[in-house]
Structure 1
Amino acid sequence: MKPKILLVGMFHMGGSSDMIQNEIDDVLSPKSQLELADVIRKLKAFKPNKIAVEALKEDDSEINNAYHQYLNNSLKLNKNEIQQIGFRLSAVMENERIYPVDWMGDVGQRNIEEVLEWAKTNQYELYSSIMEEYIPKIVEPPTTGHTIGDMLIHLNQEKRVQHDHALYMQIARIGTGTDYIGVDWVRWWYQRNLTIFSNLSGLVSDSNDRIILLIGAAHIYLVRQFLLESGVFEVESTLHYLQ
């Protein structure tokens, strides 16, 4: 038996520094809180005993101090998905802690703004394709409904996951000659996701472990690839639980 993992591609409810942002209603509104409760009810069916989140591993103490404040009714939850879904689901499952698994180290790479600015000046056709064809499809809302659950179903559709990853492959094409400008950033993106995989692997203590990862949807393609290729995990269908 292999430990099971459920990858839930998220949008960042409280905003973030990500290259691409999705606009949503206030998650603290009564309507959104009811929608979040429904999502948590659905994810509870997976019976996770460990919930991993897109937060830096070195912030473990800070995050778990906040989680225990929440368990003691002494914390007002903020807007982000770590607290709105991660804390609440973990509490419902009576789990003792939250597991941050992200990495944002600097390996001397160019930043994404620098890469895109270079493309705008020197590879405008490719730049235009990225900005006018790829990114708009990533931020477009779901066509089947407008609840938080609808948005999560939309983000975790296979077609959407494939499209998210294709954007990074377009960025990898930016450059000239042997100056692989886009690759310089995309290699960091791969390292980040490979590190997330490594951190997830480190959470396994028993073959009966059932781990949920709440993470920006753009990460799903690579993290899933690494999990499957490792042979360590059984990756379950996210849509099976969300729909």
Structure 2
Amino acid sequence: MEEKAKILLLGTYHFNKGGNHLIDLESGDITTDKKQDEINEVVQKFIEFKPNKIAVEAKREKEKELNKIYSEFCTNSSVKSNEIIDHRSEIVQIAFRLANKLNHNKVYPLDVPVELPGDVFEYAEKNCPNIYEKFINRANEYGLSENEFMQNHTVWETLKQLNNPSRSEVEHSDLYLYSNQIGAGDTYYGVNALTEWYRRNLYIFANLQDIAKPGDRILLLYGAGHCKILRSLIKDYSEFEFIDPLDYL
């Protein structure tokens, strides 16, 4: 029987605040000496996992361009201004550093963007204000709590908090699943939005299946909002073995 691919899913926040998200986390300046030391501490912890592949939240279609930047990083220990990735990104700060230290010749972008319905919350505010108000209150409270934690803890401590399964289950229930009821019985705006969110995660998982070979040790670095779905998919798939990131944090 072939050895299963071991998948360590590390949920993270976006160091450069890139993209649109339900909650904007104030990561602060990740380039300060203090934060750089904290990031190096995290990188050292995951060297112990000894991944032979590192997969990241970047467009699969930009794999060639991303790895050209990674190659330059390996030579210069820095990333020049470009249209693909910001130098403050967790991909550069964690994935590139870890891959370089392990002498990997490439990283593996897995992401496939989807079009989320942009007016779902405008619809909710107008047509189901009680649901909208409760959702916004939850999101604001959640954001305040997360930002307060980040401002008073190290990168390592924040990642440990983000990768707590109980945290991701609450987030998935109270934000993602709660919004599913928007437009129920009529437009099903919430269902359509959540379908696209699940579709994106299924694309990510398909790409993970594509790069994984028996016996691989893959570190998958992704936004923590994806963890609930991706964790379930990895655990449910008979050819993968889920590795708990908390064993290394």
Per the normalisation by structure 1, the TM-score is 0.92
Name the CA distance, whole Å, in 2 between partners of 1:143 and 1:119: 30
What are the ranges of 5 or more consecutive residues in structure 2 without an aligned counterpart? Answer: 81-86
- Tell me how far 1:176 sits from its aligned partner: 4.1
Identity percentage of aligned residues: 35
- Tell me how far 1:226 sits from its aligned partner: 1.3
Partner-residue secondary structure (3-state), 2:10: strand
Alignment CA distance shift 1:143-1:84 (3 Å): closer
Alignment-derived partner of residue 130 in structure 1: 135
Alignment CA distance shift 1:58-1:128 (3 Å): same
1:147-226 correspondence to structure 2 within 5 Å: 147-166=154-173, 167-205=175-213, 207-226=214-233
Name the CA distance, whole Å, in 2 between partners of 1:154 and 1:145: 12
Say yes or no: does 1:71 pair with 2:44.
no
Give, as a single letter, the amino acid of the residue that structure 2 aligns with 1:45. Answer: E
- Tell me how far 1:25 sits from its aligned partner: 2.2
Give, as a single letter, the amino acid of the residue that structure 2 aligns with 1:152. Answer: L
Alignment CA distance shift 1:41-1:191 (3 Å): same
- Tell me how far 1:144 sits from its aligned partner: 11
Match of 1:15 among 2, 14, 17: 17
Alignment-derived partner of residue 62 in structure 2: 59
Say yes or no: does 1:95 pair with 2:104.
yes
Alignment CA distance shift 1:202-1:216 (3 Å): same
Alignment CA distance shift 1:45-1:101 (3 Å): same
Q: Deviations over 1:111-154 (max 9, x none)?
A: 2xx10111111111111111112452255233895111111011
Alignment-derived partner of residue 120 in structure 2: 115
Checking the alignment, whether the CA contact within 8 Å between 1:101 and 1:200 is kept in structure 2 is yes
Q: Aligned residues, how many? A: 237
Alignment-derived partner of residue 6 in structure 1: 8
Partner-residue secondary structure (3-state), 2:76: coil
Q: Deviations over 1:70-126 (max 9, x none)?
A: 1111743710001000100000111110100001144xx522xx1011111111111
Give, as a single letter, the amino acid of the residue that structure 2 aligns with 1:101. Answer: L
What are the ranges of 5 or more consecutive residues in structure 1 without an aligned counterpart? Answer: none
Say yes or no: does 1:231 pair with 2:202.
no
Name the CA distance, whole Å, in 2 between partners of 1:180 and 1:55: 30
Checking the alignment, whether the CA contact within 8 Å between 2:70 and 2:106 is kept in structure 1 is yes
Name the CA distance, whole Å, in 1 between partners of 2:13 and 2:38: 14
Name the CA distance, whole Å, in 2 between partners of 1:200 and 1:135: 33
Alignment-derived partner of residue 29 in structure 2: 26
Give, as a single letter, the amino acid of the residue that structure 1 aligns with 2:128. Answer: Q
Give, as a single letter, the amino acid of the residue that structure 2 aligns with 1:90. Answer: A
Say yes or no: does 1:37 pair with 2:40.
yes
Name the CA distance, whole Å, in 1 between partners of 2:114 and 2:198: 12
